[in-house]
Amino acid sequence: MLRLEKLTKTYRTGDQALKAVDLEVPKGQVLALIGPSGAGKSTLIRCINRLVEPTSGKVWLGDVELTGLGAAACAANGGAWASIFGNTRWSNA
């Protein structure tokens, strides 16, 4: 299961891309993110896969809190997802 708790991302410019996002994607479920340019879709994905650090909040993949992992540990757990430009997939089976 993928779970987001109050995920927030504010850039140095003060622009807030994500504001306290809560989301739960049950095991085996498929999710599509659809919205206009600038809505925060890419930022959300990048915060989940840790290409961008969220300002606050938590990201869980199963029992692992990804936001609590250091860079090396996150890379070691990186086999749980594959990120492809325009398309991100998580092994949530």
In the chain, DSSP finds a helix count (H) and a strand count (E) of: 2, 6
The strand pairing partners of 75, in sequence order, are none
Phi, psi of 14, deg, nearest 5:
95, -10
Q: Provide the whole-model pTM.
A: 0.77
Write the DSSP assignment of 65-83 as a string of letters.
EGGGS-HHHHHHTGGGEEE
What is the pLDDT, as a whole number, of residue 29?
A: 85
pLDDT digits (tens, 9 = 90+) for 72-88: 676 665 555 544 444 44
31 vs 25, 70, 72, CA distance in Å?
A: 7, 27, 28
